[in-house]
Structure 1
Amino acid sequence: MSFECLQVEREGHVAIVYLNRAPVNAQNAQMRAEIIQVFDSFNDDDDVRCVVLASKLKVFSAGADVSERPAIKQKGPGAYWHHNRLVRESSLAIAECNKPVIAAVNGAALGAGFGLMTSCDIWVASNEAYVSMPEINVGLAGGTALLQRVFGKSRARRMFFTGMKVSADELYRLGLVEASLPPDQLMPYVMDLAREIASKAPIALRYAKEASQVTASMPPREGYRFEQNITVALSNTEDSREAQSAFLEKRAPVYKGR
Protein backbone atom coordinates (compact mmCIF):
# COMPACT_ATOMS: atom_id res chain seq x y z
CA MET A 1 0.00 0.00 0.00
CA SER A 2 1.57 3.32 -1.08
CA PHE A 3 0.45 6.82 -0.14
CA GLU A 4 1.09 10.42 -1.15
CA CYS A 5 0.35 12.05 2.20
CA LEU A 6 1.18 9.32 4.70
CA GLN A 7 4.15 7.16 5.59
CA VAL A 8 3.39 3.81 7.22
CA GLU A 9 5.93 1.74 9.14
CA ARG A 10 5.77 -1.47 11.18
CA GLU A 11 7.62 -2.50 14.30
CA GLY A 12 6.49 -5.92 15.43
CA HIS A 13 2.77 -5.74 16.10
CA VAL A 14 2.77 -1.91 16.12
CA ALA A 15 1.88 0.13 13.02
CA ILE A 16 3.07 3.74 12.87
CA VAL A 17 1.15 6.09 10.59
CA TYR A 18 3.03 9.33 9.93
CA LEU A 19 1.21 12.35 8.53
CA ASN A 20 3.59 13.58 5.82
CA ARG A 21 2.16 16.33 3.64
CA ALA A 22 4.54 19.28 3.61
CA PRO A 23 4.75 21.90 4.82
CA VAL A 24 2.25 21.61 7.72
CA ASN A 25 0.14 18.48 7.17
CA ALA A 26 -2.84 20.51 6.00
CA GLN A 27 -5.58 17.97 5.39
CA ASN A 28 -6.83 17.80 1.82
CA ALA A 29 -9.17 15.28 0.22
CA GLN A 30 -6.26 12.99 -0.69
CA MET A 31 -4.88 12.85 2.85
CA ARG A 32 -8.31 12.17 4.30
CA ALA A 33 -9.01 9.39 1.81
CA GLU A 34 -5.65 7.81 2.66
CA ILE A 35 -6.35 8.01 6.41
CA ILE A 36 -9.65 6.20 5.85
CA GLN A 37 -7.98 3.57 3.67
CA VAL A 38 -5.11 2.75 6.01
CA PHE A 39 -7.13 2.66 9.22
CA ASP A 40 -9.82 0.53 7.60
CA SER A 41 -7.07 -1.88 6.52
CA PHE A 42 -5.89 -2.30 10.12
CA ASN A 43 -9.30 -3.70 11.06
CA ASP A 44 -8.55 -6.82 8.97
CA ASP A 45 -4.83 -7.06 9.73
CA ASP A 46 -4.21 -9.55 12.54
CA ASP A 47 -0.52 -8.61 12.65
CA VAL A 48 -1.43 -5.12 13.88
CA ARG A 49 -2.38 -4.90 17.55
CA CYS A 50 -1.73 -1.22 18.22
CA VAL A 51 -1.41 1.87 16.00
CA VAL A 52 0.54 5.10 16.52
CA LEU A 53 -0.50 8.28 14.70
CA ALA A 54 2.42 10.70 14.43
CA SER A 55 3.93 13.33 12.13
CA LYS A 56 7.07 13.50 10.01
CA LEU A 57 6.96 17.31 10.05
CA LYS A 58 7.43 20.00 12.70
CA VAL A 59 3.69 20.23 13.30
CA PHE A 60 1.20 17.45 13.96
CA SER A 61 -1.41 18.95 11.61
CA ALA A 62 -2.38 22.55 10.89
CA GLY A 63 -5.94 21.42 10.16
CA ALA A 64 -7.93 21.67 6.96
CA ASP A 65 -6.33 22.79 3.71
CA VAL A 66 -8.35 25.98 3.23
CA SER A 67 -6.95 26.40 -0.29
CA GLU A 68 -9.37 23.63 -1.36
CA ARG A 69 -12.48 25.59 -0.40
CA PRO A 70 -12.83 27.78 -3.53
CA ALA A 71 -12.57 24.71 -5.76
CA ILE A 72 -15.25 22.87 -3.77
CA LYS A 73 -17.77 25.58 -4.56
CA GLN A 74 -17.10 25.16 -8.28
CA LYS A 75 -17.72 21.40 -8.33
CA GLY A 76 -21.47 21.77 -8.27
CA PRO A 77 -24.28 20.13 -6.29
CA GLY A 78 -23.19 17.65 -3.66
CA ALA A 79 -19.58 18.82 -3.51
CA TYR A 80 -19.73 20.25 -0.01
CA TRP A 81 -21.67 17.21 1.21
CA HIS A 82 -18.89 14.96 -0.10
CA HIS A 83 -16.21 17.21 1.43
CA ASN A 84 -17.90 17.18 4.83
CA ARG A 85 -18.35 13.41 4.66
CA LEU A 86 -14.60 12.94 4.04
CA VAL A 87 -13.81 15.20 7.00
CA ARG A 88 -16.08 13.18 9.29
CA GLU A 89 -15.06 9.78 8.03
CA SER A 90 -11.32 10.41 8.30
CA SER A 91 -11.73 11.03 12.03
CA LEU A 92 -14.24 8.20 12.45
CA ALA A 93 -11.94 5.73 10.69
CA ILE A 94 -9.46 6.32 13.51
CA ALA A 95 -12.03 6.33 16.31
CA GLU A 96 -13.72 3.18 15.00
CA CYS A 97 -10.53 1.27 14.22
CA ASN A 98 -10.70 -1.98 16.17
CA LYS A 99 -7.11 -1.55 17.38
CA PRO A 100 -6.04 0.95 20.08
CA VAL A 101 -4.59 4.13 18.55
CA ILE A 102 -2.07 6.42 20.27
CA ALA A 103 -1.58 10.03 19.14
CA ALA A 104 2.04 11.22 19.33
CA VAL A 105 1.54 14.98 19.09
CA ASN A 106 4.88 16.61 18.33
CA GLY A 107 3.69 20.11 17.43
CA ALA A 108 0.63 22.21 16.67
CA ALA A 109 -2.66 20.32 16.33
CA LEU A 110 -5.09 22.88 14.95
CA GLY A 111 -8.73 22.54 13.97
CA ALA A 112 -9.11 19.29 12.08
CA GLY A 113 -5.62 18.36 13.32
CA PHE A 114 -6.93 18.53 16.88
CA GLY A 115 -9.85 16.44 15.63
CA LEU A 116 -7.48 13.70 14.45
CA MET A 117 -5.70 13.77 17.79
CA THR A 118 -8.90 13.38 19.79
CA SER A 119 -10.08 10.56 17.54
CA CYS A 120 -7.22 8.51 18.96
CA ASP A 121 -7.62 6.55 22.18
CA ILE A 122 -4.55 7.81 24.04
CA TRP A 123 -2.86 11.20 23.67
CA VAL A 124 0.81 11.94 24.34
CA ALA A 125 2.41 15.29 23.54
CA SER A 126 5.75 17.00 23.13
CA ASN A 127 6.10 20.04 25.37
CA GLU A 128 6.39 22.08 22.16
CA ALA A 129 2.88 21.05 21.08
CA TYR A 130 -0.33 22.99 21.48
CA VAL A 131 -3.93 22.69 20.37
CA SER A 132 -6.36 25.26 19.05
CA MET A 133 -9.61 25.59 17.12
CA PRO A 134 -8.73 28.67 15.02
CA GLU A 135 -11.71 28.63 12.65
CA ILE A 136 -13.08 31.84 14.19
CA ASN A 137 -9.92 33.64 12.98
CA VAL A 138 -10.81 32.99 9.33
CA GLY A 139 -14.49 33.86 9.62
CA LEU A 140 -15.68 30.30 10.21
CA ALA A 141 -17.07 28.42 13.19
CA GLY A 142 -16.41 24.80 13.92
CA GLY A 143 -15.36 22.44 16.65
CA THR A 144 -17.78 23.07 19.49
CA ALA A 145 -19.02 19.46 19.54
CA LEU A 146 -15.40 18.30 19.74
CA LEU A 147 -14.26 20.87 22.32
CA GLN A 148 -17.14 20.20 24.70
CA ARG A 149 -16.23 16.50 24.79
CA VAL A 150 -12.67 17.32 25.84
CA PHE A 151 -12.82 20.50 27.93
CA GLY A 152 -15.21 21.95 30.46
CA LYS A 153 -17.89 24.37 29.26
CA SER A 154 -16.04 27.63 29.94
CA ARG A 155 -12.69 26.59 28.44
CA ALA A 156 -14.35 24.95 25.43
CA ARG A 157 -16.38 28.04 24.61
CA ARG A 158 -13.48 30.40 25.21
CA MET A 159 -11.44 28.38 22.69
CA PHE A 160 -14.40 28.30 20.28
CA PHE A 161 -15.02 32.05 20.49
CA THR A 162 -11.38 33.23 20.49
CA GLY A 163 -9.24 30.53 18.84
CA MET A 164 -6.97 30.52 21.92
CA LYS A 165 -4.06 28.08 22.09
CA VAL A 166 -3.69 25.52 24.88
CA SER A 167 -0.16 24.27 25.48
CA ALA A 168 0.85 20.66 26.05
CA ASP A 169 1.89 21.50 29.60
CA GLU A 170 -1.59 22.89 30.25
CA LEU A 171 -3.18 19.82 28.68
CA TYR A 172 -1.11 17.67 31.03
CA ARG A 173 -2.08 19.81 34.04
CA LEU A 174 -5.72 19.28 33.09
CA GLY A 175 -5.18 15.52 32.83
CA LEU A 176 -5.93 15.43 29.10
CA VAL A 177 -2.62 14.00 27.82
CA GLU A 178 -0.58 11.17 29.30
CA ALA A 179 2.62 13.20 29.26
CA SER A 180 4.17 16.46 28.07
CA LEU A 181 7.71 15.50 27.12
CA PRO A 182 10.84 16.97 25.57
CA PRO A 183 10.62 16.38 21.80
CA ASP A 184 13.35 13.72 21.72
CA GLN A 185 11.51 11.67 24.36
CA LEU A 186 8.11 11.66 22.67
CA MET A 187 8.42 8.73 20.26
CA PRO A 188 10.43 6.48 22.64
CA TYR A 189 7.71 6.98 25.27
CA VAL A 190 4.91 6.35 22.78
CA MET A 191 6.56 3.27 21.30
CA ASP A 192 7.14 1.77 24.75
CA LEU A 193 3.45 2.27 25.48
CA ALA A 194 2.44 0.85 22.10
CA ARG A 195 4.60 -2.25 22.61
CA GLU A 196 3.06 -2.77 26.04
CA ILE A 197 -0.45 -2.61 24.56
CA ALA A 198 0.52 -4.89 21.67
CA SER A 199 1.75 -7.51 24.14
CA LYS A 200 -1.81 -8.11 25.36
CA ALA A 201 -4.23 -10.70 23.97
CA PRO A 202 -5.38 -9.46 20.53
CA ILE A 203 -8.99 -10.54 20.96
CA ALA A 204 -9.15 -8.88 24.38
CA LEU A 205 -7.78 -5.66 22.87
CA ARG A 206 -10.46 -5.70 20.16
CA TYR A 207 -13.22 -6.20 22.71
CA ALA A 208 -11.72 -3.54 24.99
CA LYS A 209 -11.67 -1.03 22.13
CA GLU A 210 -15.27 -1.89 21.23
CA ALA A 211 -16.40 -1.55 24.84
CA SER A 212 -14.65 1.82 25.16
CA GLN A 213 -16.38 3.14 22.06
CA VAL A 214 -19.86 1.71 22.59
CA THR A 215 -20.30 2.31 26.32
CA ALA A 216 -19.24 5.96 26.04
CA SER A 217 -22.70 6.80 24.67
CA MET A 218 -24.67 4.30 26.79
CA PRO A 219 -26.50 4.85 30.09
CA PRO A 220 -24.45 3.31 32.93
CA ARG A 221 -26.71 0.28 33.47
CA GLU A 222 -26.72 -0.73 29.80
CA GLY A 223 -22.98 -0.06 29.55
CA TYR A 224 -22.29 -2.29 32.55
CA ARG A 225 -24.33 -5.12 31.03
CA PHE A 226 -22.56 -4.70 27.69
CA GLU A 227 -19.16 -5.04 29.38
CA GLN A 228 -20.30 -8.08 31.36
CA ASN A 229 -21.39 -9.78 28.14
CA ILE A 230 -17.97 -9.07 26.66
CA THR A 231 -16.28 -10.54 29.75
CA VAL A 232 -18.31 -13.72 29.38
CA ALA A 233 -17.42 -13.97 25.68
CA LEU A 234 -13.72 -13.43 26.41
CA SER A 235 -13.67 -16.04 29.15
CA ASN A 236 -14.47 -18.67 26.52
CA THR A 237 -11.53 -17.80 24.24
CA GLU A 238 -8.27 -19.70 23.89
CA ASP A 239 -6.32 -16.52 24.59
CA SER A 240 -8.08 -16.03 27.92
CA ARG A 241 -7.22 -19.56 29.02
CA GLU A 242 -3.64 -19.09 27.81
CA ALA A 243 -3.29 -15.82 29.76
CA GLN A 244 -4.47 -17.48 32.96
CA SER A 245 -2.20 -20.49 32.46
CA ALA A 246 0.79 -18.26 31.74
CA PHE A 247 0.11 -16.23 34.90
CA LEU A 248 -0.03 -19.35 37.07
CA GLU A 249 3.04 -20.85 35.39
CA LYS A 250 4.98 -17.56 35.61
CA ARG A 251 5.78 -17.39 31.89
CA ALA A 252 5.01 -15.09 28.97
CA PRO A 253 1.70 -15.93 27.25
CA VAL A 254 1.60 -17.02 23.61
CA TYR A 255 -1.55 -15.62 22.02
CA LYS A 256 -3.31 -16.96 18.93
CA GLY A 257 -5.98 -14.28 18.53
CA ARG A 258 -8.88 -16.62 19.21
Structure 2
Amino acid sequence: MGISTRNHGDGVAEIVMDVPPVNALPVQGWFDLADAVRLAGRDPRTRAVVLRAEGRGFNAGVDIKEMQAASGHGALVGANRGCYEAFAAVYACEVPVIAAVHGFCLGGGVGLAGNADIVVAAEDAYFGLPEVDRGALGAATHLARLVPQHLMRAMVYTCRNVTAAELHAFGSVLQVVPPAELRRAALEVAARIAAKDPYVIRRAKESLNGIDPVDVNRSYRFEQGFTFELNLMGAGDRHRESFVSGEG
Protein backbone atom coordinates (compact mmCIF):
# COMPACT_ATOMS: atom_id res chain seq x y z
CA MET A 1 0.00 0.00 0.00
CA GLY A 2 1.01 3.64 -0.30
CA ILE A 3 2.58 4.83 -3.56
CA SER A 4 4.10 2.19 -5.82
CA THR A 5 5.60 2.12 -9.30
CA ARG A 6 5.66 -0.69 -11.83
CA ASN A 7 7.81 -0.36 -14.94
CA HIS A 8 6.46 -2.15 -17.99
CA GLY A 9 8.75 -3.43 -20.72
CA ASP A 10 7.20 -1.13 -23.32
CA GLY A 11 8.43 2.03 -21.60
CA VAL A 12 5.26 2.70 -19.60
CA ALA A 13 5.60 3.44 -15.89
CA GLU A 14 2.47 2.68 -13.85
CA ILE A 15 2.19 4.66 -10.60
CA VAL A 16 -0.49 3.47 -8.20
CA MET A 17 -2.03 5.20 -5.18
CA ASP A 18 -3.33 2.73 -2.61
CA VAL A 19 -4.09 4.47 0.69
CA PRO A 20 -7.24 3.02 2.30
CA PRO A 21 -9.95 3.75 2.96
CA VAL A 22 -10.46 6.52 0.36
CA ASN A 23 -7.03 7.49 -1.01
CA ALA A 24 -7.00 10.70 1.02
CA LEU A 25 -3.24 11.13 1.10
CA PRO A 26 -1.40 12.07 4.29
CA VAL A 27 1.29 14.74 4.11
CA GLN A 28 4.09 12.27 3.39
CA GLY A 29 1.95 10.56 0.75
CA TRP A 30 1.84 13.69 -1.38
CA PHE A 31 5.61 14.04 -1.25
CA ASP A 32 6.03 10.33 -2.01
CA LEU A 33 3.76 10.70 -5.03
CA ALA A 34 5.73 13.71 -6.26
CA ASP A 35 8.99 11.76 -5.91
CA ALA A 36 7.57 8.76 -7.78
CA VAL A 37 6.36 10.86 -10.71
CA ARG A 38 9.63 12.79 -10.95
CA LEU A 39 11.69 9.60 -10.76
CA ALA A 40 9.64 7.98 -13.52
CA GLY A 41 9.91 11.01 -15.78
CA ARG A 42 13.66 11.32 -15.33
CA ASP A 43 14.27 7.67 -16.18
CA PRO A 44 15.34 7.61 -19.85
CA ARG A 45 13.57 4.26 -20.25
CA THR A 46 10.19 5.84 -19.43
CA ARG A 47 8.14 7.00 -22.37
CA ALA A 48 4.75 7.54 -20.69
CA VAL A 49 3.28 7.38 -17.19
CA VAL A 50 -0.08 6.02 -16.09
CA LEU A 51 -1.30 7.39 -12.76
CA ARG A 52 -4.12 5.38 -11.22
CA ALA A 53 -5.46 4.15 -7.89
CA GLU A 54 -6.72 1.06 -6.14
CA GLY A 55 -9.77 1.02 -3.92
CA ARG A 56 -13.05 2.91 -3.93
CA GLY A 57 -11.91 5.99 -5.85
CA PHE A 58 -9.03 7.78 -7.51
CA ASN A 59 -8.27 10.34 -4.82
CA ALA A 60 -10.22 12.10 -2.05
CA GLY A 61 -7.69 14.89 -1.48
CA VAL A 62 -5.82 15.55 1.73
CA ASP A 63 -6.20 13.55 4.93
CA ILE A 64 -8.25 15.99 6.99
CA LYS A 65 -8.27 13.65 10.00
CA GLU A 66 -4.46 13.73 10.07
CA MET A 67 -4.57 17.50 9.89
CA GLN A 68 -7.03 17.84 12.77
CA ALA A 69 -5.14 15.37 14.95
CA ALA A 70 -1.90 17.34 14.65
CA SER A 71 -1.04 20.26 16.91
CA GLY A 72 -0.07 23.61 15.42
CA HIS A 73 -0.07 24.34 11.71
CA GLY A 74 2.58 21.83 10.61
CA ALA A 75 0.16 19.40 8.99
CA LEU A 76 -1.70 22.18 7.17
CA VAL A 77 1.52 23.63 5.81
CA GLY A 78 2.78 20.14 4.96
CA ALA A 79 -0.39 19.23 3.08
CA ASN A 80 -0.32 22.45 1.09
CA ARG A 81 3.33 22.01 0.20
CA GLY A 82 2.85 18.33 -0.56
CA CYS A 83 -0.09 18.97 -2.88
CA TYR A 84 1.87 21.71 -4.61
CA GLU A 85 4.80 19.34 -5.17
CA ALA A 86 2.64 16.47 -6.43
CA PHE A 87 0.59 18.59 -8.82
CA ALA A 88 3.74 20.27 -10.12
CA ALA A 89 5.46 16.91 -10.60
CA VAL A 90 2.60 15.63 -12.76
CA TYR A 91 2.57 18.80 -14.84
CA ALA A 92 6.36 18.97 -15.28
CA CYS A 93 6.91 15.24 -15.79
CA GLU A 94 9.21 14.90 -18.80
CA VAL A 95 6.83 12.45 -20.47
CA PRO A 96 3.05 12.47 -20.89
CA VAL A 97 1.01 11.46 -17.84
CA ILE A 98 -2.28 9.60 -18.33
CA ALA A 99 -4.61 9.77 -15.32
CA ALA A 100 -6.88 6.75 -15.02
CA VAL A 101 -9.77 7.92 -12.85
CA HIS A 102 -12.44 5.79 -11.21
CA GLY A 103 -14.96 6.57 -8.51
CA PHE A 104 -14.39 9.86 -6.75
CA CYS A 105 -11.83 12.43 -7.89
CA LEU A 106 -12.12 15.19 -5.31
CA GLY A 107 -9.97 18.09 -4.11
CA GLY A 108 -6.39 17.01 -4.61
CA GLY A 109 -7.57 14.38 -7.07
CA VAL A 110 -8.71 17.19 -9.36
CA GLY A 111 -5.27 18.75 -8.99
CA LEU A 112 -3.66 15.53 -10.23
CA ALA A 113 -6.12 14.84 -13.05
CA GLY A 114 -6.24 18.48 -14.13
CA ASN A 115 -2.46 18.62 -14.47
CA ALA A 116 -2.25 15.30 -16.33
CA ASP A 117 -1.81 15.32 -20.09
CA ILE A 118 -4.66 12.88 -20.75
CA VAL A 119 -7.55 11.63 -18.62
CA VAL A 120 -9.21 8.26 -19.12
CA ALA A 121 -12.15 7.66 -16.81
CA ALA A 122 -14.42 4.86 -15.68
CA GLU A 123 -18.15 5.23 -16.08
CA ASP A 124 -18.53 5.65 -12.33
CA ALA A 125 -16.02 8.51 -12.08
CA TYR A 126 -17.02 11.93 -10.82
CA PHE A 127 -15.03 15.08 -10.17
CA GLY A 128 -15.47 17.91 -7.68
CA LEU A 129 -13.99 20.44 -5.29
CA PRO A 130 -15.56 20.29 -1.81
CA GLU A 131 -13.06 22.90 -0.61
CA VAL A 132 -15.60 25.61 0.27
CA ASP A 133 -17.38 23.14 2.55
CA ARG A 134 -14.01 22.34 4.16
CA GLY A 135 -13.02 25.94 4.83
CA ALA A 136 -10.29 25.89 2.19
CA LEU A 137 -9.60 26.97 -1.38
CA GLY A 138 -7.45 25.50 -4.11
CA ALA A 139 -7.29 23.39 -7.29
CA ALA A 140 -9.68 25.68 -9.19
CA THR A 141 -6.57 26.22 -11.30
CA HIS A 142 -6.69 22.57 -12.28
CA LEU A 143 -10.48 22.29 -12.48
CA ALA A 144 -10.38 25.12 -15.04
CA ARG A 145 -8.36 22.76 -17.27
CA LEU A 146 -11.23 20.27 -17.17
CA VAL A 147 -14.42 22.36 -17.39
CA PRO A 148 -15.46 25.74 -18.85
CA GLN A 149 -14.97 28.84 -16.70
CA HIS A 150 -18.55 29.42 -15.63
CA LEU A 151 -19.08 25.79 -14.68
CA MET A 152 -15.80 25.87 -12.75
CA ARG A 153 -17.05 28.84 -10.73
CA ALA A 154 -20.40 27.17 -10.07
CA MET A 155 -18.61 24.02 -8.92
CA VAL A 156 -16.38 25.97 -6.54
CA TYR A 157 -19.25 28.00 -5.04
CA THR A 158 -21.75 25.13 -4.72
CA CYS A 159 -19.39 22.14 -4.34
CA ARG A 160 -21.35 20.25 -7.00
CA ASN A 161 -19.72 17.41 -8.91
CA VAL A 162 -19.52 16.56 -12.60
CA THR A 163 -19.47 13.10 -14.16
CA ALA A 164 -16.95 11.52 -16.46
CA ALA A 165 -19.58 11.62 -19.22
CA GLU A 166 -19.90 15.40 -18.83
CA LEU A 167 -16.13 15.84 -19.05
CA HIS A 168 -16.02 13.59 -22.09
CA ALA A 169 -18.53 15.91 -23.75
CA PHE A 170 -16.21 18.85 -23.01
CA GLY A 171 -13.28 16.93 -24.49
CA SER A 172 -11.25 16.94 -21.27
CA VAL A 173 -11.71 13.18 -20.78
CA LEU A 174 -10.42 11.13 -23.70
CA GLN A 175 -12.39 7.96 -23.03
CA VAL A 176 -15.09 6.72 -20.67
CA VAL A 177 -15.00 2.97 -20.16
CA PRO A 178 -16.50 0.37 -17.81
CA PRO A 179 -14.59 0.26 -14.50
CA ALA A 180 -13.20 -3.19 -15.23
CA GLU A 181 -11.60 -1.90 -18.44
CA LEU A 182 -10.07 1.31 -17.04
CA ARG A 183 -6.54 0.08 -16.39
CA ARG A 184 -6.32 -1.64 -19.77
CA ALA A 185 -7.63 1.43 -21.59
CA ALA A 186 -5.14 3.76 -19.87
CA LEU A 187 -2.22 1.41 -20.52
CA GLU A 188 -3.23 1.17 -24.18
CA VAL A 189 -3.15 4.97 -24.54
CA ALA A 190 0.22 5.06 -22.82
CA ALA A 191 1.55 2.28 -25.06
CA ARG A 192 0.56 4.21 -28.19
CA ILE A 193 2.53 7.19 -26.93
CA ALA A 194 5.45 5.00 -25.84
CA ALA A 195 5.69 3.61 -29.37
CA LYS A 196 6.61 7.06 -30.72
CA ASP A 197 10.12 8.51 -30.90
CA PRO A 198 10.91 9.17 -27.21
CA TYR A 199 13.02 12.25 -27.92
CA VAL A 200 10.25 13.82 -29.96
CA ILE A 201 7.60 13.01 -27.32
CA ARG A 202 9.67 14.59 -24.55
CA ARG A 203 10.13 17.74 -26.63
CA ALA A 204 6.41 17.73 -27.42
CA LYS A 205 5.60 17.68 -23.69
CA GLU A 206 8.05 20.51 -23.05
CA SER A 207 6.67 22.58 -25.92
CA LEU A 208 3.04 22.13 -24.89
CA ASN A 209 3.79 23.22 -21.34
CA GLY A 210 5.59 26.22 -22.77
CA ILE A 211 2.54 27.49 -24.64
CA ASP A 212 0.08 27.11 -21.75
CA PRO A 213 -1.73 30.42 -21.14
CA VAL A 214 -1.74 29.92 -17.34
CA ASP A 215 1.24 29.25 -15.08
CA VAL A 216 -0.39 26.46 -13.09
CA ASN A 217 2.21 26.52 -10.31
CA ARG A 218 1.91 30.23 -9.61
CA SER A 219 -1.87 30.18 -10.02
CA TYR A 220 -2.30 27.33 -7.54
CA ARG A 221 0.09 28.91 -5.04
CA PHE A 222 -2.02 32.08 -5.18
CA GLU A 223 -5.12 30.03 -4.34
CA GLN A 224 -3.35 28.40 -1.42
CA GLY A 225 -2.74 31.79 0.15
CA PHE A 226 -6.48 32.12 0.74
CA THR A 227 -6.55 28.77 2.50
CA PHE A 228 -4.05 30.16 4.99
CA GLU A 229 -6.20 33.28 5.44
CA LEU A 230 -9.28 31.14 6.09
CA ASN A 231 -7.30 29.16 8.64
CA LEU A 232 -6.04 32.29 10.40
CA MET A 233 -9.60 33.58 10.64
CA GLY A 234 -10.83 30.31 12.16
CA ALA A 235 -13.01 29.22 9.24
CA GLY A 236 -10.65 26.46 8.14
CA ASP A 237 -10.44 24.72 11.49
CA ARG A 238 -14.17 25.09 12.11
CA HIS A 239 -15.14 23.41 8.84
CA ARG A 240 -12.49 20.70 9.11
CA GLU A 241 -13.63 19.84 12.62
CA SER A 242 -17.24 19.64 11.40
CA PHE A 243 -16.14 17.22 8.70
CA VAL A 244 -14.18 15.02 11.12
CA SER A 245 -17.08 14.92 13.56
CA GLY A 246 -19.43 13.84 10.80
CA GLU A 247 -21.44 17.05 10.72
CA GLY A 248 -19.94 18.48 7.53
Q: What is the aligned partner in structure 2 of residue 109 from structure 1? A: 105
Q: What is the aligned partner in structure 1 of residue 190 from structure 2? A: 194
Stretch moving more, 146-155 or 38-47: 146-155
Q: What is the aligned partner in structure 1 of residue 68 from structure 2? A: 70
Structure-2 separation of matches of 1:75 and 1:151 = 32
Task: Indicate yes or no: 2:23 matched with 1:17.
Answer: no
Structure-2 separation of matches of 1:148 and 1:94 = 16
Q: What is the aligned partner in structure 1 of residue 175 from structure 2? A: 179
Contact 1:25 1:61 (8 Å CA) reproduced: yes
Length, aligned pairs only: 213
Alignment of 1:1-258 (within 5 A): 5-12=2-9, 13-71=11-69, 73-74=71-72, 80-217=76-213
Structure-2 separation of matches of 1:48 and 1:107 = 27
Larger relative contact order (Cα-Cα within 8 Å, sequence gap ≥ 6): 2
User: Measured at CA, do residues 145 and 72 of structure 1 come closer, stay the same or move farther in structure 2, by a change above 3 Å?
Assistant: farther
Per the TM alignment, residue 54 of structure 1 is displaced from its structure 2 partner at its CA by 0.5
Render the CA deviation track for 1:45-80: whole Å, top value 9, x for unaligned.
11111100011112001111111223555256xx64
Stretch moving more, 144-153 or 102-111: 144-153
Structure-1 separation of matches of 2:81 and 2:204 = 27
Per the TM alignment, residue 136 of structure 1 is displaced from its structure 2 partner at its CA by 1.7
Render the CA deviation track for 1:62-115: whole Å, top value 9, x for unaligned.
111111223555256xx6444422210111011101011100101110011111
Structure-2 separation of matches of 1:15 and 1:28 = 23
User: Measured at CA, do residues 159 and 75 of structure 1 come closer, stay the same or move farther in structure 2, by a change above 3 Å?
Assistant: closer
Contiguous gaps of at least 5 residues in structure 1: 219-258
Q: CA RMSD in A?
A: 1.8
Percent identity, please: 33
Per the TM alignment, residue 8 of structure 1 is displaced from its structure 2 partner at its CA by 1.4
Query: Match of 1:19, SS?
Result: strand
Contact 1:143 1:160 (8 Å CA) reproduced: no
User: Measured at CA, do residues 145 and 73 of structure 1 come closer, stay the same or move farther in structure 2, by a change above 3 Å?
Assistant: farther
Structure-1 separation of matches of 2:155 and 2:21 = 25
Contact 1:61 1:108 (8 Å CA) reproduced: yes
Render the CA deviation track for 1:129-156: whole Å, top value 9, x for unaligned.
0001011222333333333333222211
Query: Match of 1:89, SS?
Result: helix
Q: Which amino acid in 1 is paired with 2:169?
A: R
Contiguous gaps of at least 5 residues in structure 2: 215-248
Contact 1:5 1:30 (8 Å CA) reproduced: no
Q: Which amino acid in 1 is paired with 2:24?
A: A
- Relative to the length of structure 2, the TM-score reads 0.80
Contact 1:172 1:179 (8 Å CA) reproduced: yes
Per the TM alignment, residue 202 of structure 1 is displaced from its structure 2 partner at its CA by 1.1
- Relative to the length of structure 1, the TM-score reads 0.77
Stretch moving more, 82-91 or 167-176: 82-91
